Structure 1
Amino acid sequence: MKQDRAFALDSILNNPSSPWMDGSGNLADVVISSRVRLARNLKDTPFPHLLEEKEADQVLDRVFSAVDLIGPRGFGGEIIKVRLDNLSLLDRQVLVEKHLISPQHAESGFGKGLILRQDEAVSIMVNEEDHLRIQCLHSGLELDEAWILASGIDDLCDELLDFAYDERIGYLTSCPTNVGTGLRASVMVHLPALAMANEVSRVLAAVNKLGLVVRGIYGEGTEGQGNVFQISNQISLGQTEKEIIENLSLVAKQVVSEEKRVREGLFKNRRAELEDRVFRALGILSNARRMTSNEAIRLWSDLRLGVEFEMIPGLTMKDTNQILVLSRPNYVQRTAGKSLQPEERDTRRAELIRRHLANRKV
């Protein structure tokens, strides 16, 4: 059984694709994915940063035992449980690049665990900032679906673990901004047309004024990479889960509308420039012998826009989105099976992308 779980996790780490990145779902030409995350803590147990090693291990054991009782039926699919200290730092960083754990959770520490449904739609971080961080991911704008899945798993866990809850303010969390519902909902959007038209700052500033937070594709410090942005609620107190989901969905649809409006204008008025960018990106990605991660994600953005306009026969959204993962530094390093110097990594990255596109015959 342990060998089966190890094989399943290894398959996930080796695969640049994830079902939540397959280009399906509502408005998936702009919205890459929807995520719902719930912060939960065990009643009468100190927050993770206050735990001694033995206490953290006890929390992890309790959560793993509860997961065993819930089983695949409750989770909607086969699950993998893993102690993060049994994984190499490189493997933990690949999980970050696949958006399955946070950068904080990848850092060394005791009592840290991960529960992962094999299709990657559900993951639970154990002993991150809170005892449990329940995360559900869906392709496209599907916040309602992600919420239904997360809420169901939350209810099953609560029956067995007894979460810390105050009748007046709601769920108790390590960070004050998560107190209340403990809900952080987010959408990952691709806004290349707004960026080309120099309108992305205006649109995202308006989003901020509505009380939402905008971050880059891999969180703070990655703003603007690949013209991908994560939009999420800022606080979880004073609103119901339904209100948070509905508000974010409404704003996401407005952002999508703005992006599509500008895309139509570009296609009508600047088509030659647009096609040149798309096919220049395809040419470089298909032929380059060395490529940095920043160049790869910049060219990926132009390529994805071409796929959205159906300019490149034979290349699907799923194929294109895989480049996001297979071009990341830790994934590239893992495929090599050895430590790489920066120039070697750039060479390996270019090789992986060339091979990926050649297999699609584009």
Structure 2
Amino acid sequence: MTRPDIIRRHIAVVAPSLQAALIGPAVHKQAMRRIGSEFGFPPVEYQSVREPLSAQQRANDINSASKQRNCKAIFAVAGGNDSITLLKYLDRNVLATSRTPFVGYSDNTAIHNFLWKIGRTSYYGGSTQIQLGPGPSIDPIQSGSIKKVLEGKGYLELLKPSHYEVRGIDWHSPLALTEGGLRSPYPEYLWAGEPKITKGRSWGGCVQTLLQLAVMNELPTPLQLRGAILFLELSDEHLGDGNVLKLVRAFGEAGYFNAVGAVLFGLPPHSISQETAQLAVPNPSAATKLLSAVSSEIGKYNDELPRVLGVPIGHLRPQYVIPYGGTIEVDGVNKTVRAYYEAC
């Protein structure tokens, strides 16, 4: 690992959970090149990217990167399944005073929630191995929102892409470096609730990880989320539509939909499998059917609650990197969603 203290300004790259760089080294190498060329800062790979480490050691990479004055951001390589094991090793004092934005999604929801609880803004999206390394280039939506994170100012309107994919080519294949996954037309957003303008601090993340955090009693209460923008998205480890609705119902019974100011729900990564598990065509009709059911379920608890379902966040490409604990505006009058990017 290059010593970050001798680099004037850089982007730290860490692996809080899955060591995706070891699974697809060529894709990882391309992601590191693109970070430098696309965003203008050299990447510094921490030990967790290259070696199997304990939860404490992986947490220490985040702690260490957060101390570096010249670190522009911390990028997670990928999600995984055990970021919850890092929480007890994250240095609350260091992270509470750090100005370095953490960027990642999926299983990294656990780390975002930790930062949210200590008053920090982080950014949800942008894993290097999934969004930056594969394919012929970085999607403009992806690049534009990451640049906003690094600038620490301004806003983006979360416009609907023309097409999207839910799974790329196997990282072991040379084609993963030059070709993207199979794409389908992106469906229209579903708008519901009172047509008004709502602006608030965001909280949420990957549903599968939020279930883990709920068991650990790590979720904020409805009172703590009063007026917030709640955003939820699903990983490609499918729960089944019925179980998703059960979770939404549980949020309703707990009182969240009578506390938050608005709800965003990411487009589910539903797909139609092809000959191999690595090839899948996105299934927008199935995704939209689930979103309609989710909206109806929320409406049983608060039908006036503004909600936008099908936004490009989470487990798909292209994907907006949005503030977690920062400001999001849902404008039901003009049917726009804006994410605001501020220095952490």
User: Which interval holds the TM-score relative to the shorter structure?
Assistant: under 0.3
Larger Rg: 1
Higher-helix-fraction structure: 1
TM-score scaled by length of structure 1? 0.25
Higher-strand-fraction structure: 2
TM-score scaled by length of structure 2? 0.26
